[in-house]
Amino acid sequence: MSDYLQRMQKPRNVYVNGEPVSHLSRHPMFCGAIRFINRYYELQQQDPAVHLVNHEYAASLLIPRSIEDLRQKGRSYKAVADTSYGMLGRTPDFINSAIAAIASHAEALGRDQYCDYAHNARRYYDYCRENNLYVSHAAINPQVDRSRALSELRSPSAGVRVTHYDSNGITVSGAKMIATLTPVSDEVLIFNMPGLTENDKDFAIAFTLDVTDPNLRMLCRKTLTYPEHSPLDHPIANLFDEIDCLLLLDNVQVPWERVLIFRDVEKSNAFYDRTKARNHTGHQGIIRGQAKAELLTGVATRIAQTLGLDRFLHVQEKLGRMTTSLDLLKGAIQLAENAATIDDHGVCNPDISAIQAIRYHFPLWYKDMQQTIQSLCAGSMLSIPDAVTLGVLPPQQQDELFDPYRTALLNLGWDLTGDGFGQRQMVYEIYHAGDPLRIAAKHHQEYDKRDLLATLDQLLHSSCQERNHD
């Protein structure tokens, strides 16, 4: 049994259906995810050249110094993503890449009278690296009323706030939503996305937590797997549920060495950007997205072949929209790596502009891919009897209609597009990196438009001048 699987034996406060779950690895809602997360560790054994640095530590924790380093990390990301067809968004390499970024830009965290946060970040990196840990994260505050600031909300669960602090550390209470896979991780990094206002000081914190902390409760959403159904009925939904949960913190004690930001709104808002964490988690994310898009393209292609649809021009166009999108994705991933720059810390950061460009467009491509699959299957997805029923049918030779491959294929189509599994994947792609509307708005603001505008002004001034000479 791997170290990770052993660590998963440790009890933690996970609630499902109002009951605490005692053995996660035997529970149908968690065993799939644990098995797939464990593949991340297995790959380190099977292919250390790709997944380890100097046979020592995880490639995702490599602090990249060159574009070639980024490419190595990229190869590891892709192989990890392929194990779950890109459907597990929060594999260990995701936050690992952030932990490495934060440690290598630790000065951004600074120090104050209580603590040297930069030092904390570097030590935490060492700790994760030595123990090959799986760190999850929780950043999103429950959506109570988006038109008001955190500090204006009455709900005690509006976010996580400091309620007390002394020389030992800080005490925090409150909630975070959409903590993905935290129940099956070792650690959780808690922080905020930008947008806090100056009155939100008590919320402006970042810290790490051992997920077995007794004052941390993880309330899971309803599961999206069907334990009573065979893999033939749900070829992918039943592989794993990338469970999301609501974290409730009830007077959790956090020692100072685990604190990264303390009551500092400016640092909190700049956290993800200044540490370059978003560049590196973004890099992992877009590569993982490729694995996902490849599965959907394969599924659509095969369904069109199987149902005799691929001879129609308008179907071919839809399939071609998928392959062309794949090419755009590959090109933009290359751009993110090739346009990477080495900063003052000697760290090579993927180009955030290319990453955010993908993050704006990928959900649109993904939605379109889903809809193509839905349109190819049309009603057929809804006419598949379950596997047990199929099994009791009298054997009808040559009856393509009951062919298990065809059945699995159409059921996969439903899992990916019609079932809760597929829709969660969609919602995940649209929102996991922030509201696309704001991603685009920020892309415009941060884009280097000087050359574009200089060219334009030259044209316009020439128009104005020629007029004067007329």
Site for its own copies in 81-140 (CB under 8 A): 82, 85, 140
Q: Which residues pair with 172 in a beta bridge?
A: 162, 252
- By C-beta, is 55 or 154 nearer to its own copies? 154
Supply 54's token pair. 């100097």
For residue 325, state whether it binds its own copies (rule: CB under 8 A): yes
For residue 11, state whether it binds its own copies (rule: CB under 8 A): no
| Residue 312 CA: distances (Å) to CA of 316, 319, 376, 384 | 6, 11, 11, 24
Given a contact cutoff of 8 angstroms between Cβ atoms, the answer to whether 321 and 395 are in contact is no
User: Which of 317, 341, 342, 346 forms a contact with its own copies (CB under 8 A)?
Assistant: 317
Q: How many residues does the chain have?
A: 470
User: Which of 1, 6, 54, 464 forms a contact with its own copies (CB under 8 A)?
Assistant: 464
For residue 166, state whether it binds its own copies (rule: CB under 8 A): no
| Residue 145 CA: distances (Å) to CA of 151, 239, 434 | 11, 35, 17
For residue 42, state whether it binds its own copies (rule: CB under 8 A): no
Provide the annotated binding site. Answer: 143-146, 180, 435-438
- By C-beta, is 187 or 233 nearer to its own copies? 233
For residue 221, state whether it binds its own copies (rule: CB under 8 A): yes
Q: Among 1-9, 161-169, 256-264, 308-316, which window interacts with its own copies (CB under 8 A)?
A: 308-316
Given a contact cutoff of 8 angstroms between Cβ atoms, the answer to whether 213 and 42 are in contact is no
- By C-beta, is 213 or 386 nearer to its own copies? 386
Q: Running DSSP on this structure, what letter comes out for residue 345?
A: T
Backbone angles phi, psi at 407, to 5 degrees: -60, -50
For residue 395, state whether it binds its own copies (rule: CB under 8 A): no
Q: Where are the alpha helices (DSSP H) in 242-312?
A: 265-274, 277-306
Q: Among 98-106, 115-123, 186-194, 380-388, which window interacts with its own copies (CB under 8 A)?
A: 380-388
Given a contact cutoff of 8 angstroms between Cβ atoms, the answer to whether 37 and 134 are in contact is yes
For residue 330, state whether it binds its own copies (rule: CB under 8 A): yes
Least CB distance to its own copies at residue 176 (A) = 9
Provide the annotated binding site for FAD. Answer: 143-146, 180, 435-438
Report CA 32 to chain centroid distance, whole Å: 18
User: Which of 4, 12, 13, 16 forms a contact with its own copies (CB under 8 A)?
Assistant: 16
User: Which of 1, 54, 167, 444 forms a contact with its own copies (CB under 8 A)?
Assistant: 444
Least CB distance to its own copies at residue 58 (A) = 24
Backbone angles phi, psi at 254, to 5 degrees: -120, 115
Q: How many angstroms separate the CA atoms of 245 and 222, rounded?
A: 9
